Amino acid sequence: MHSFLLPVLSFTLSIAVSAIADPTLSPWQLHEQRSHIPAGWTRARKLHPSALVPLRFALAQSNIEHIEALLNDVSHPSSPNYGNHWSASQIAAEFAPSTESIETVRSWLIESGVEPHRVKLSPTKGWLEVASTVEEAENLLLAEYHVYDHETGTKHIACDSYHLPEHVVPHVDFVTPTIHFDARIEKRNSQSRVPIGQPGQGGSSPKTTGQIDGILDQIEDCDKQITPICLRALYGLWYQPVSGNSNSYGIVEYTPQAYVQSDLDIFAKNFSTGLEGVSPTLVSIDGGVVQTTEIAFDYNGESNLDLEYAMTLVTKGQNITLYQVGDVVQGASFNTFLDALDGTYCTFDGGDDPDQDPVYPDTASGGYSGNEDCGTVKPANVISTSYGYNEADLSAAYAIRQCNEYAKLGLMGVTFLFSSGDLGVAGNGGYCLNADGSQSADGTIFNPGFPATCPYVTAVGATQVSPGKSVWEPESACEQVIYSGGGFSNYFSMPDYQKAAVEGYLAANPISYSKDIYNSTGTSRAYPDLSANGANYVVAIDGTFSLVYGTSAASPVVGSILTMVNDARIALGKPPLGFINPTIYSAGFAAGFKDITNGTNPGCGTLGFNATKGWDPVTGLGTPYFPSLLAKWLVL
């Protein structure tokens, strides 16, 4: 059975849902199960019963089942609490694991024969840890552990499934090591998907057709080359910030991706005023460094693209914060960044999984020797990220826990933007899903991306000025070099804010594909939420100009627009936008977007979905038009 034919998992509830059929095991429930061994791995051998396994139990968070309602309360334009964002202390008080959860799991472990001194509450207070043998772990979890070998030489301990007593289930999000596999493999090959923080990560990295002979910086040439003037014309972004010192805009990059200052200067000389010699404000997280050892498109293309356009569109009147995440040895994960923004995440919630996320201090030669950044970084009002995984790269429990953290930061007034992916309904690297849940280049099942499918972020797709068309004519879905990522999640249920729009699309546009190649339930999170141009960008890279394509380009453009809306709101004494999805999907905001009705997002041997009137799973609500959105947001 395909995973998406199961009931869609709630993103606020424990993943454990099905009871064991064997009556002798009736006190336990299946908590997590893996249907296949991930690509590149092979099962090597059974672990000896006396081998050590450091069990870690991720404790459930209090009140997490109410997080969507709480976020809507401060984000929906009809709410009397719109814009009344929470403080970090309120977040901590509301969602910290309860004493009941800690004691329930502790008591079960002790009653199962674990000596009390071996049950330790982690310094983060989000985990209970047990130094266990394989035999003990297998008895506790009704699991069977093996050693797995990766083709790069990496070894890993995992099981296919595990169980918990039914009274413990509500108090545990997930247990490690169990079904999870390392998401930070450092060597790329034809079968492994490289995570954020490594070059060439597949469908989320920008694409290029190479260097160009000359720049066409005329508005009539925007179908051939996109420059800042094209974007200003397309989206009406003619605005000079007045509240730059009180406003903030963050761009996230993952080491070894790094910008080159001389490239920023070349771009500024051609397209900007007053930005030559100007650098973004660097915020280093867990040893993040703007490395200069590796110079090539794969290392500099993403950062240069993001910063050149973001800095130019918000002008010299608004500083850009560069969050550079992870050292040159381990790179980083999204959790590494989230820990630095929200002290409650690493102090209480325990979102990190040491089987998937980097651990600091990094004892490797050249690694970051400092302690992990925990709540040390102030989040910007708007944060744009052009990186992503496939949903299937991660377990549902891991993705759900991280998604809830984006909701908490939304409660605190942060707008999170993520590019939706560049391979249509296929995932990074062109991988699609197989019937057993595995991923391969010849798979036939649509493969949604994460965090774009998290209902608490804003997913940004890509459009284009079609050949022979002008900026004054409607754009189409991007079908040059890349295709806008979009579709329906296999992990997350549909949030209330988009139900009317998505149900309207499904009613007006019956989908002819077989129900076994996409999540056809009509009750799952749909994406993207909106779009912006993602084709033919002129970008200075390594001393020359190249044409670049990607939702990687679209996300920082949308971030720039929203940052300028925040500027105007702040000037009037209003709070920043925070989580925008409930607002942009609400009645009356349709006029703030230019509807995109042409194009598709092919992948997995299909044409994907169609762009059509209203919301669609190719371009979302359409492209933002700054004057209209500004007028609407200024009255909220």
Tell me which residues are annotated as active site: 302, 306, 552
Nearest to residue 151, comparing CAs of 188, 180, 184? Answer: 188
Copy the structure tokens of residue 551: 């939702």
282, amino acid identity:
L
Query: In sequence order, which ranges of 524-636 are alpha helices (DSSP H)?
Result: 551-571, 581-584, 626-634
Contact 432, 603 (CB under 8 A): yes
A 10 A CB-CB count for 354 gives 14
Helix (H, G, I), strand (E, B) or coil at 537: strand
Where would I find the beta strands (DSSP E) of 318-436?
320-325, 382-385, 389-390, 415-419, 432-433
Q: Which residue has the tokens 């749909």?
A: 526
Where would I find the beta strands (DSSP E) of 3-51?
18-19, 28-33, 41-46
Nearest to residue 323, comparing CAs of 378, 371, 277? Answer: 378
DSSP state of 345: I
Query: In sequence order, which ranges of 471-519 are alpha helices (DSSP H)?
Result: 499-508
Helix (H, G, I), strand (E, B) or coil at 29: strand
| DSSP-assigned beta bridge partners for residue 281 | 321
What gap in Å lies between CA 317 and CA 306, rounded to an integer? 18
| DSSP-assigned beta bridge partners for residue 487 | 527
The 3-class secondary structure across 172-184, one letter per residue, is EEEEECCCCCCCC
Q: Which residue has the tokens 């207070």?
A: 125
What gap in Å lies between CA 409 and CA 405, rounded to an integer? 6
105, amino acid identity:
V
Cis previous bond, 80, omega within 30: no
Angle between helices 88-95 and 396-411 (to 10 degrees): 140
Nearest to residue 579, comparing CAs of 402, 459, 419, 400? Answer: 459
The length of the chain, given as a count of residues:
636
What does the angle CA 124 – CA 331 – CA 40 come to, to the nearest 5 degrees?
100
Cis previous bond, 23, omega within 30: no
Phi-psi bin for 102: left (phi > 0), alpha (psi -120 to 50), beta? alpha
Copy the structure tokens of residue 37: 């061994």
Contact 162, 32 (CB under 8 A): yes
Copy the structure tokens of residue 331: 């790179």
Q: What is the layout of strands, in order, in the sheet containing 161-165? A: 18-19, 28-33, 161-165
